[in-house]
Amino acid sequence: MKPLLITSGTVVSAAGRGLAETADALRARRSGLAPCDFAGIAVGFAGVVRGVQAHRIGGSDPRFDCRNNRLADMALTTDGFDEAVAQARAFYGPERIAVVLGTSTSGILSAEDAYARADPATGALPPSFDQARTHDLFSLPRFVAARLALDGPLLSVSNACASSSRAFVDARHWLETGLCDAVVVGGADSLCRMTLRGFDSLGLVAPDRARPCDAGRRGISVGEGAGFMLLEREGARPGARTMARWLGYGVSSDGHHMSTPDPEARGAIRAMLEALRHAGLDPSEIDYVNLHGTGTIANDAMEDLAVHAVFGDAVPCASTKGWTGHTLGASGIVEALFSVLMMRDGFLAGCLGVEIVDPMFRSHVLTGNRAATPRAIMSNAFGFGGTNCSLVFGAA
C-alpha cells in the first residue's frame, strides 16, 4: 500500500501526558501503575491518568462532559495537536477532515454514576444524564469533531481491545475512496467499574503490576489512555511535517472464543503476515514488534507462538503495558505512538518487571531497553472475540 504520513500525534496515559513525558518514562523505565483504588474498587494495580477528574473540557457543548471525553480533551490540547489540526483544517477545509476513533466502553462511567442516582421508585435516571453525549459509543467522535471544529464524516469503532488499531484501517479506506483528505485517527478508553470488576470476575487481574512475558505473570493491570494522530497523503499539503509513516496493516477475525485467544494463534499470524504484505516488507526488515502482551498466561503464550511463526527469534519484541496497564480500546493508538517515539528517539523498550522470561517462549523478548535506530516497527492489538490487528510504522 502507499504509505500515509503521520503529521501530528499526541498521547496521554499513566506513563505521562504528552510525547515528552511519555518518552521520558519509557527511557527511564518508570511505570505508571499503582495500587488500584478507583471508585473505591481495590483490584490489583491500575494505570490511572493524573488530572482527569479535575480536567474541564472546553470549546464545545458541556453536555459532552464525562471521563472519557475529558481524557480525550487532555490529549487534544497536548503536544500542539489541536493547533496542527487547525492548520490542516485551514488548508483542506473543515468538511474534508474525517474523524475515525476507537473505544470499547466510551463514557460508561457516566451511566454507572447515573444508575446509582436513579429514582428508587420509578427507576428513572437523573434528567442531567445525557446518554447520547457521554455513554454512547458515538459520543467520542462527535466530541472530538466539535472540539476541533471539523465537519467531515465521523466513525466510531468498537472492536474490543483492537478498536483504535482497527480505526486506522477504516481511516485509510475513507482516504482511498476520496471521502476525505485527512483523518484524525485514534481513540480513548477510560476507567470504569464495569471493566475493573469484569476483568476481575474473569480471574484476569494480577494482584501486582502486570508483568507481560514473565514466567510468573499473573494477569493484567487495567489502564486508561487516549491518543490521536493526523493522517495525510504524502505531498498533499505543502510544508506539513512528518512524524512517521504508516506503512501497512493486517486484520483478521478468527472468532475462536469470546474471551480466550486461539491457542494456535492462527488469526494473529494472519494479521501480521497481511501487515507485512501491505507494507511490502520482509520479516527481516521489521526492527521491533510491540506486542499486545497483556500479561495473562494465555494471551502472552499465543502471541509468542504467533511472533515466532512469523519472525523466528531474530526480531526483538516486548510489551509496553508494564508502563500503562491495558488501556483496552485505546491500546492500539497509545502503543502506536510509543512505537513512533522509539523510532524518533533511537531506542527499543523492553518489558518492565520481567524477572525470568517464560522458558516456553521462543521469540526474542527484550527485558531491558536497547539503543537502536529502528526504521520499521510492527504494533499488535488483539481483542476479545478473536479480533486481531497489526500495524506497521516507519521512521520519518
pLDDT, one tens digit per residue, over 305-340 is 999 999 999 999 999 999 999 999 999 999 999 999
Q: Based on the structure, what is the number of domains in the chain?
A: 2
pLDDT of residue 45: 98
- Give the C-alpha distances (Å, rounded to integers) separating 315 from 5, 113, 215, 304, 321: 25, 46, 20, 12, 19
- 61 and 160 in a single domain? The answer is yes
**Residue count of the chain:** 396
Q: Which domain holds residue 184?
A: 4-233
Give domain status of residue 266, yes or no: yes
Q: Is 105 helix (H, G, I), strand (E, B) or coil?
A: coil
**Alpha-helix runs per DSSP H in the chain:** 19-28, 67-76, 81-92, 108-116, 139-147, 163-176, 193-201, 266-279, 297-311, 321-324, 331-345
pLDDT of residue 386: 85
Spatial CA neighbour of 351 closest among 378, 324, 327, 372: 324
Of the pLDDT bands very low, low, confident and very high (cuts 50, 70, 90), residue 255 is confident
> Average pLDDT, stretch 357-361?
98
Spatial CA neighbour of 241 closest among 166, 330, 344: 344
pLDDT, one tens digit per residue, over 181-208 is 999 999 999 999 999 999 999 999 999 9
Last-in-domain residue among 199, 233, 267:
233
pLDDT of residue 254: 87
Give domain status of residue 243, yes or no: no
> Average pLDDT, stretch 390-396?
98
List the CATH number of the domain containing 61: 3.40.47.10
- 169 and 280 in a single domain? The answer is no
pLDDT of residue 262: 82
- 197 and 268 in a single domain? The answer is no
Of the pLDDT bands very low, low, confident and very high (cuts 50, 70, 90), residue 246 is very high
pLDDT of residue 256: 76
Q: Is 331 helix (H, G, I), strand (E, B) or coil?
A: helix
- 264 and 385 in a single domain? The answer is yes
Q: Is 259 helix (H, G, I), strand (E, B) or coil?
A: coil
Give domain status of residue 273, yes or no: yes
Q: What is the chain's mean pLDDT, rounded? A: 96
- 322 and 255 in a single domain? The answer is yes
pLDDT of residue 260: 80
pLDDT of residue 263: 86
Residues labelled catalytic: 161, 292, 326
Of the pLDDT bands very low, low, confident and very high (cuts 50, 70, 90), residue 14 is very high
Q: How far apart are CA 87 and CA 72, in angstroms?
A: 20
Of the pLDDT bands very low, low, confident and very high (cuts 50, 70, 90), residue 376 is very high
- 356 and 265 in a single domain? The answer is yes
Last-in-domain residue among 181, 209, 233:
233
- 254 and 229 in a single domain? The answer is no
394 vs 59, which has greater pLDDT? 394
73 vs 61, which has greater pLDDT? 73
- The answer to whether residues 217 and 296 touch, using CB atoms and an 8 Å cutoff, is yes
For 37, counting Cβ atoms within 10 Å of its Cβ (0-12 exposed, 13-18 middle, 19+ buried), the class is exposed
* Neighbouring C-alpha atoms within 13 Å toward the C-beta of 141: 25
> Average pLDDT, stretch 256-275?
88
